[in-house]
Amino acid sequence: MSIPDRLRTSTVQLAVGSDTPRLDAELLMAHALGLSRADMLLRQRDLDVPTGFAPLLERRLAGEPIAHIIGIRDFWTISLTVTPDVLIPRPDTETLIEVAVDHFHDRVPGSVLDLGTGSGALLLAALAQWPQARGLGIDASPAALAVAQGNAARLGLADRAVFRLGDWAEGVEGPFDLLLINPPYIARDEVLSGDVLREPASALFAGVDGLDDYRRIAPDLPRLIAPGGLAAIEIGHDQRESVSALLMEKGLDVAVRRDLAGHDRCLLAVHPS
């Protein structure tokens, strides 16, 4: 069977459990060939289906996330190594970087703090966006920090990124120009499905109402946000009012930004002007 034919049949198989079956098939084929997806698509009629494709397809059909199978996930302008120890970076989370770019305009946020850094996605995307910036990433998971440090080294950003084991902002001294925060925000009893079932529960769930970590983070934000600075905080689609109230109780001004799907996704917290 040719690669175009194999991609078509695989897309049909994957459509049962994936929202992006064609993309999944192409990424798996490219990985099996050792090529980029773009190169694979350009050369697909001149290549044979590699023997390594079938076992990769079986893993995906069994529910393993694409990012775990190929070990890489694109985010903003960078590519990150991803393992089961970290949350898989999602396009929705890029909203936080978009908000920061808009906020600073032609200024540079010299100092960046990423709370719950995971793979390092947000911090490293910010450092790639602003080559003059330096940053600190905090996470409670040693395994996640190892992934983040590896990503920083691979991207040539290790000299501007420090990663530290920690419990949110406890012991962190500020202020910082830019805070990027993507905490767990799923309620404990919420029923999940799909790829997220394979991700670390500690990066997903936050108590009965999904707000436990916001309650812990909010009190530290006034001292950590520099004058003219910004905290960009990811929220669940139905958490705008509840999380905004926690932030406003601490004296911060709050606005919201929606993601590409039109869902409330990021709260912008700043000191009152």
* pLDDT in the model for residue 191: 77
Nearest CA-CA partner of 31 in 71, 82, 3: 71
Query: What are the structural domain ranges in the chain?
Result: 3-63, 77-270
* pLDDT in the model for residue 204: 84
pLDDT tens, residue by residue, 93-125: 999 999 999 999 999 999 999 999 999 999 999
179 beta partners: 113, 231
User: Is-above-0.85 flag for pTM?
Assistant: yes
**H or E, element range at 56:** helix 53-61
The span from the CA of 13 to the CA of 21, in Å, is: 8
The span from the CA of 88 to the CA of 84, in Å, is: 8
* pLDDT in the model for residue 206: 84
268 beta partners: 232, 255
Do 77-270 and 3-63 have the same topology in CATH?
no
* pLDDT in the model for residue 108: 97
CATH class of 77-270: alpha beta
* pLDDT in the model for residue 269: 98
Nearest CA-CA partner of 70 in 47, 85, 53: 53
* pLDDT in the model for residue 165: 98
Residue 84 DSSP SS3? coil
CATH topology of domain 3-63: Helicase, Ruva Protein; domain 3 (1.10.8)
Q: DSSP states of 147-182 as a string?
A: HHHHHHHHTT-TTTEEEEE-STTTT----EEEEEE-
pLDDT beneath 50: ranges in the chain: none
pLDDT tens, residue by residue, 226-247: 999 999 999 999 999 999 999 9
